[in-house]
Amino acid sequence: MSGTANSRYEVQPVSLKLFVTGRTPGALRARQAVESLLESRSGSGIDIKIVDVLADPDSALVDNVYATPTIIRTGGGIERRLIGDLSSVEKLEIGLLLEAAA
């Protein structure tokens, strides 16, 4: 077997992109939940980018984001979007199809 035969079993990195609008209460809760999610998964290789659509509206347009907060998961052959109340770490894990941290 060649080295590429096993590549389909390798864990692919997960990228998250969180879109928020300034420092609204919903944006702050979403940021806190995402930070808690990442802390519970330190070393898991999850990459996060936080986009404030007030400062960078073009990024929201490129990713077809029309409401905030929105989080987009890519990687591992999965793309998922969650929109609205993103304050629950457990709901983020379920909605983004992330296995619960050990």
Residue-wise pLDDT for 46-81, tens only, equals: 899 999 999 999 999 999 999 999 999 998 788 999
Please list, in sequence order, all residues whose beta carbon lies within 8 angstroms of the beta carbon of residue 88, skipping any fewer than 6 positions away: 33
8 A C-beta contact, residue 41 and residue 101: yes
Please list, in sequence order, all residues whose beta carbon lies within 8 angstroms of the beta carbon of residue 32, skipping any fewer than 6 positions away: 87
Alpha carbon 83 to its chain centroid, in Å, reads: 11
For residue 77, the model assigns a pLDDT of 84
Peptide bond into 69 cis (omega under 30): yes
8 A C-beta contact, residue 72 and residue 80: yes
Domains and CATH numbers, the chain: 11-94 (3.40.30.10)
- pTM of this prediction? 0.83
